Amino acid sequence: MESYSRRWFLGAGATTLVSAAGLTACGSGGGSGGSGGGTVTAMVYGDDAVKIQTQAIDRFNASAAAKKTKGSIKLQKIPASDYPAKLRTAMGSPNAPDVFFNWGGGSIKAYQEANQLIDLTDTIRTDSVLKDGFLPSVLASGSLGGKMYGIPMRGMQPVMVFYNKTLFAEHKLQPPTTWDQLLDINTKLKKAGITPFALGGAETWPELMWLEYLVDRIGGPQVFERIKNGDASGWGDPAVLKAAETVKQLIDDGAFGKGYSSVGYSNGGAPAVFAKGRAAMHLMGSWEYPTQLGKFPDFARKELGWFAFPQYEGGAGDIRNVVGNPTNYWSVNARVANKDAAIAFLRDCASEAYTKDLIANGDVPTTTLAEKLLDSSPNPEYARFQYQMVQQAPAFTLSWDQAVDPSWQTPMLTEINKLFVGKSSPAQFVSALKGLK
């Protein structure tokens, strides 16, 4: 429990204003709190995996490195659905976090432009723990304009199809490798009264994953590559229209059931629909496994299976292409008071203890140590599948919402949501996106 501290009642430095109003007495009550001294605040996305960061902080605060840098880390968990907005408002205020969770790429561009990030390039180059500690391609994904701003701090996050092995066995189904096989499975499941796919359509990003993969499978990775570089006419590629039509077909065929647009993911709705056997499959990032392990451990251990997004007949995309996020990163605020402590804390992300914590949580870390430790994963088979998936991918497309310019993000997500709720047709969808400026 937080102690009542003067700082959060008053805000830093507003004491005069308050004593004028006679309110100072209300805020005190012991406890020091505050960001003064050597404390480094770390803001993190508050989902199930946050326990890894909590453990890392406990470990760091008791370590020799903490004593040497006279620092300690204080964690601020932000509810998942609200994280990007909270990060932005906090970064615009004097109470900005010293270290913060992000997705690399577009998610930190604004902070880089506002000179709010510490360039970690030299730190990483001169520090063998950091330099050799992570897969180079993942470290590179955390960079902007050739400079590195992020240290990988979670598992790799490719998107794949998860399925319920029990339901598949009951209805004598095999994981599909082609789109036609998938449609066939959908038909059989619907006949049995089972919704083929769980979908957390109350949020748009789970819907986005469908378009990301369909556009890749139909038109190949270069279609989005062009869009990502700011060419709005790229949305006019026939593959985008075809993908949108395919989505509409899926919806009309009842592939997602009926109530999907009021089901959330962050609140655990879609995972529960899937784990409870109401839906047989779920297109989701690799965090689905740790999420299920946290919420429905029996289901995760015994019934959860996975396969790569199927090949689209006649499509240009390779079935080995991957969509998703390489990982998440810690970045450091340029205004950090105790930079040494912050960097010392980040070095822990490459450690064996941290790697093991991630693996125990069902994640596949992006540290170089990970490969030989994967056998200790609660599900080594899953861990190796993921590791190889990423390793062998001819193309790894970053999630669209993180990859595009931030000013496109919300309108793009809005259009995708409209497509999924039937507010716009595939053709309207394409023409709206072509109009993005």
Q: Write out the binding residues for other proteins, residues 200-219 only, by CB under 8 A.
A: 201-202
How big is the site for other proteins, counted in residues (CB under 8 A)? Answer: 73
Under the binding rule (CB under 8 A), the answer on residue 272 touching other proteins is yes
- Within 109-168, the residues that bind other proteins by CB under 8 A are 110-111, 113-114, 116
Extract the tokens encoding 113.
Answer: 């432009």
Task: Tell me the closest approach of the beta carbon of residue 246 to other proteins, in angstroms.
Answer: 20
CB 43 within 8 A of CB 76: yes
Instruction: Give me the 277-306 binding string for other proteins, x by CB under 8 A, dash otherwise.
Output: -x----------------x-----------
Extract the tokens encoding 196.
Answer: 């083929």
- Within 75-114, the residues that bind other proteins by CB under 8 A are 76-82, 84-86, 88-95, 110-111, 113-114
- In Å, what is the CA distance from 148 to each residue of 231, 350, 354, 399? 26, 16, 21, 19
Under the binding rule (CB under 8 A), the answer on residue 5 touching other proteins is yes
CA distance 348 to 342: 10
111 or 385: CB nearest other proteins: 111
367 or 424: CB nearest other proteins: 424
Total Cβ atoms within 10 A of residue 188: 14
SS3 40: strand
94 or 238: CB nearest other proteins: 94
* Crossing angle of the two packed helices 106-113 and 406-420, in degrees rounded to 10: 150
Question: Out of 175, 268, 277, 378, which residue is the one contacting other proteins (CB under 8 A)?
Answer: 268
128 or 410: CB nearest other proteins: 410
188 or 278: CB nearest other proteins: 278
Task: Tell me the closest approach of the beta carbon of residue 100 to other proteins, in angstroms.
Answer: 11
CA distance 346 to 45: 16
Task: Tell me the closest approach of the beta carbon of residue 152 to other proteins, in angstroms.
Answer: 24
Instruction: Give me the 215-244 binding string for other proteins, x by CB under 8 A, dash otherwise.
Output: ------------------------------
Q: How far apart are the first and last CA of the chain?
A: 47
State the DSSP H helix or E strand holding residue 15, giving kind and residue range, or none if neither.
helix 15-21
DSSP 59-84: HHHTSHHHHHTT-EEEEEEEEGGGHH
104 or 365: CB nearest other proteins: 104
8 or 307: CB nearest other proteins: 8
Q: Which of these ranges, 7-15, 129-137, 143-151, 160-168, lies near other proteins under the rule CB under 8 A? A: 7-15
Under the binding rule (CB under 8 A), the answer on residue 12 touching other proteins is yes
DSSP 204-247: SHHHHHHHHHHHHHHH-THHHHHHHTT-GGGGGSHHHHHHHHHH
Task: Tell me the closest approach of the beta carbon of residue 403 to other proteins, in angstroms.
Answer: 16
188 or 295: CB nearest other proteins: 295
| Unique residue bearing structure tokens 């066995």 | 169
Extract the tokens encoding 333.
Answer: 């605020």
Residue 432: Cβ-neighbour burial (10 angstroms; 0-12, 13-18, 19+): middle
CA distance 84 to 101: 10
- Within 31-50, the residues that bind other proteins by CB under 8 A are 33, 43, 46-47
Q: Which of these ranges, 73-81, 129-137, 218-226, 328-336, lies near other proteins under the rule CB under 8 A? A: 73-81
Bridge-based pairing of strands 329-332 and 322-325 is unpaired
Q: Which of these ranges, 3-11, 327-335, 344-352, 377-385, lies near other proteins under the rule CB under 8 A? A: 3-11
- Within 378-417, the residues that bind other proteins by CB under 8 A are 406-407, 409-411, 414, 417
